[in-house]
Structure 1
Amino acid sequence: MREYQFFASEPRDEMLMGICFPAALMLPTSILGAVMWYFIPDYHPLSKSLTGFGWVAILGVIIGFLIMSLVKRYCIRKYTVQVSGKTILIDSIGGRKYQGEVRSATINQNKMKTVLEIYLGHQKLIFIARVKNNIFESSIFAGSTKEDIQEMATLYQALQEVSILK
């Protein structure tokens, strides 16, 4: 039995992060703006200085990125994959478990992400990993390392060997 571990997300997690990102940026800014406008009598949100909406927007964006980091921590999970012959057991920290016989596997790699698709009996599992290089080069959804990508590629090679044995 061989074991592989990597950090990745699934398509539903990617969708959740995609929906939460604009909401995490705009909701705190809108709420802070409404609170300021309601409670401070001399507040002018459309003034041309930074005393207007600027401070509220800056604080809202900071709060939004903090919220987004929490969402990302929830969505990117550590997966442990155990391959034993033609049977595969996939366990994640979040509680999802998959088990079945491997029919086939594909991997798609480009500059932004690596997508590993594993076809079991009646299931198709998709794992998406984005390499986090630094703040300026990476996507906001990045949470994997180069070692995770290499581990996914090694898993793919092992699954290809299993598929050929059938």
Structure 2
Amino acid sequence: MKKFEFAAGTPKSDMIMGLCFPIGFMFPILITYLLLFYSGMITYKVHPLFKFLVFLPAFIISYLIIKKIRKTVSKKFIVYIDKLNIRVLENEKEIMLGKISFYKIKSNHDKLVKVDIGIDNRKISFISRPKEYKTVTGTTSFNPFGISDISDMDQLLTLGREVKDLIEKQEKENNFDANIKGECI
């Protein structure tokens, strides 16, 4: 039995991040501006630098909101594989148990790893994006949608490859058995 532990998201958490990121960014700015405008602090005679300094706390609040959202949608998965049987735990709660029927791996260098694993009638998708990644110039860049570390991405990719190897091995055994039956008849 093999055990894989990693932090990743699901398509639902990706959707939540995609919708909440603009809201979490613009809502504090809008609230700050409206409060200052209706309180009379922002007028036409105010120095332009003052308007910028007023929005600085809104940017900090936005960063904290986005950080909280990232922490909320990030889930810790533990996956146990025994031959073709799989058991998936999400935040220590069992969410899937059964025999693996299909898989799909999508890897985009250092920016994304997506592994889909299906059992008889259900499918689960693991999506892992790094919190920071290296750009072409070699510097690291902050990824606001990232919820995983590089080690989590490696674990997820290893899980995908393990499932791939198990299914290919099973298919070879099935083809070998079919060839033997065909020759005996």
Task: Establish whether TM, by shorter chain, passes 0.5.
Answer: yes
| Aligned residues between the structures | 164
**Separation in 2, partners of 1:117, 1:23:** 29
SS in 2 for 1:137: strand
Partner Cα distance (1:45, 1:11) in 2: 46
- Which residue number corresponds to residue 82 of structure 2? 84
Moved more, 9-18 or 125-134: 125-134
Check if 1:28 corresponds to 2:16.
Answer: no
Residue in 1 that maps onto 2:152: 148
Question: How far does residue 87 in structure 1 lie from its aligned partner after superposition?
Answer: 1.4
Distance 2:73 2:44 in 1: 35
Distance change (3 Å), C-alpha of 1:62 and 1:12: same
Say which one has the larger Rg: 2
- Which position in structure 1 is the counterpart of 2:70? 72
Measured after TM superposition, the shift of residue 6 of structure 1 is 0.8
Counterparts of residues 115-130 of structure 1 (less than 5 Å): 115-130=114-129
**Over the residues paired in the alignment, what is the CA RMSD in angstroms?**
2.2
Q: CA deviation at 1:42?
A: 4.1
Amino acid aligned to 1:17: M
TM (normalized to structure 1)? 0.88
Note the 1:36-75 alignment, pairs <5 A: 36-39=36-39, 41-44=40-43, 47=46, 49-52=48-51, 54-75=52-73
The corresponding residue for 2:106 is 108
> Which whole-Å CA distance do the structure 2 matches of 1:37 and 1:146 have between them?
44
Over the matched positions of the two proteins, sequence identity in percent amounts to 23
Q: What CA distance in whole angstroms lies between the structure 2 residues aligned with 1:98 and 1:31?
A: 42
Residues 106 and 45 from structure 1, CA distance in 2 versus in 1: closer, same or farther, beyond 3 angstroms?
A: farther
In 2: Cα distance, 1:45 partner to 1:18 partner: 35
TM (normalized to structure 2)? 0.79
Deviation, 1:69, is 0.3
Q: Unpaired segments of 5 or more residues in structure 1?
A: none
Aligned equivalents of 1:23, 1:136: Cα separation in 2: 26
Change (3 A) 1:68 1:95: farther
Q: What whole-Å deviation, never above 9, does each CA across 1:61-105 have from its counterpart, x for those lacking one?
A: 211111000000011111000112221111111746112210121
